[in-house]
Amino acid sequence: MTNFVTPDIDWAALTPILVVMGAAVLGVLVEAFAPRNSRRSVQVTITFLALAGALVSVVWRWTVVDTEDAQAVVGGQLIEDPFTLMAQGIVLVSALLAAFVIADRTQTREGSFAASAATRPGSQEERELIRAGVQQTEVYPLVLFAVTGMLAFPAAGDLLTLFIALEVLSLPLYILSGMSRRKRLISQEAALKYFLLGAFSSAFFLMGVALLFGFSGSVRYSEVAQATTATVGMEWMLIIGIVFVLVGLLFKVGAVPFHSWTPDVYQGAPTPITGFMAAGTKIAAFAAMIRFLYVIAPGMAGDLEVLLWVIIIVTMLVGTVLGIIQTDIKRMLAYSSIAHAGFVLIAATSFEISGISATLFYLLAYGVATVGAFGIVTLVREKDSNGNITGEATSLKAWAGLGKRKPALAVSMLIFLLSFAGIPLTGGFVGKFTAFAAGIEGGAWPLVVIAVLASAATAFFYFRLVVLMFFEDSDERTTVVSSEGMSLVAIVIAAIATIALGVFPGPVLDLIGNAAVLLP
């Protein structure tokens, strides 16, 4: 009989995760016991306090953790090191900005979420709930549970913990994607597609975990890494296991051929959730991918090179070519995110220390700009023939003349688009420069050449929107709604951060450079 050994747990190291998870559980209790009229204000308060508190705890842990050492938490299932803390900090910054957009309500007193996601779209029950002003406040604990998974994802020190974090991250997003207030059927279709394809990718992921366990006899990253140099004769099992785990991670970042969910889910999900998902999921998934590859597979770089290069090239080309032909702004930004996934993969798979810091900086710049861009989309609305404000104006033509009617909002969108295009003096330019430099350092200069050409091509669909906003006549069927102001806070902060990261990137690059230390 084997005696159970109680793991030595440093609870302080788990503070960021515990704060957010505890707030999520508290939010569930609020839904069960708080009066309906007070739930929204309580949930919004809990959400902001939890995310801000977790960010403060990350800063505190940064001052405590030794940059030359890593700490195994919960028996090595989680790792606390500078890389983990930096990735968690970037996740929380993006989540905090996204929370402003999620919590905002427009002048019509509507949020972006269905009165009750469980009702049949167009039913009498749904109309009665809308008239009664019912709000779906379960959104807030679901967002916090998703953030919990995002925080655990880059910290995972073994494959089973990585899978658990993946599911904690994903399951709330499947639900949130189907909760749009308008275009309910499209939203529910998007949620179903996301769930089914996500379950399929998780099956690949688990098969990869099983193969890696069969190869090494362990699910711990460090022990699998040791087995790669000590075990002879089962290299096929190692390579296939790594590839299958990568399938699950590449699905989350929207890389081709695992991208088919991206445009439909981006279009169908409530726009604040689209921004939250586009930023937070990519940050967490790329951070988890870096730890997995750099700890387990650095010696397998040559074996994986052809596969990774094909995925990167096809991802950049598909994101660029299909992005050009889009007429819906949310689908355009979806294909933009696919192209960006290809750019980030160049740095993430360079197997160079510079690739780690370049990836983190790129994710920070992309995350804040993405939340800001989708925050603007929530405020640009259509009007019906009677002048009533209806849904979001997602057609690109509807954005014509926005610069004349709302110049400040259009200039903010211009900043985000310039950052996506990689124009100098924006965070996106510095992110692409460092990512491509890391790729060249890792010997992937052909990928960098293709990426530069693809980046120039993607500028077409960004500048097409710029021309519509500033150089076309105004579309009278489009209006910009006022709101409680929380979305504007997120947009202003994101715009300032995007410019600051482009004009004064040095301090942030130095800080992230200190975090580019991966220790199993």
Q: What is the pLDDT of residues 379-405, one digit of tens each?
A: 888 776 666 667 777 788 888 888 888
Report the alpha-carbon distance of residue 426 to residue 420 in Å, rounded: 9
Using a 10 angstrom Cβ sphere, with 0-12 exposed, 13-18 middle and 19 or more buried, the burial of residue 471 is exposed
Report the alpha-carbon distance of residue 415 to residue 496 in Å, rounded: 9
Cα of 173 vs its chain's centroid, Å:
11
Report the alpha-carbon distance of residue 47 to residue 40 in Å, rounded: 10
Domain ranges of the chain: 18-515
Which residue is it, tokens 């169908």? 268
For the chain, 520 residues long, the average pLDDT of each consecutive 10-residue run is: 68 89 93 84 92 94 73 78 91 94 76 70 68 76 94 90 92 89 83 90 92 88 82 78 92 88 89 91 92 85 87 93 90 92 92 89 94 90 70 81 86 93 91 92 90 90 88 77 85 94 91 72
Give the three-class secondary structure for 483. strand
pTM attached to this predicted model:
0.92
Amino acid at residue number 252: K
Concatenated DSSP letters for 147-213?
A: HHHHHHTTTB-BHHHHHHHHHHHHHHHHHHTT-BSSSHHHHHHHHHHHHHHHHHHHHHHHHHHHHHH
Element (H, E) at 433: helix 427-441
Phi, psi of 428 (to 5 degrees): -65, -35
Report the alpha-carbon distance of residue 123 to residue 265 in Å, rounded: 23
Model pLDDT, residue 110: 67
| Nearest in space to 427 (alpha carbons), one of 359, 505, 349 | 505
Report the alpha-carbon distance of residue 323 to residue 329 in Å, rounded: 10
For residue 284, give Cα distances in angstroms to 89, 173, 222, 272, 348: 11, 14, 20, 18, 13
Rg over alpha carbons for the chain, rounded to the nearest Å, is 22
Phi, psi of 77 (to 5 degrees): -70, -30
| Nearest in space to 339 (alpha carbons), one of 240, 461, 171 | 461
Pairing of strands 78-80, 71-73: antiparallel
Model pLDDT, residue 309: 93
Which residue is it, tokens 């929530």? 378
For residue 141, give Cα distances in angstroms to 25, 92, 137: 7, 15, 8
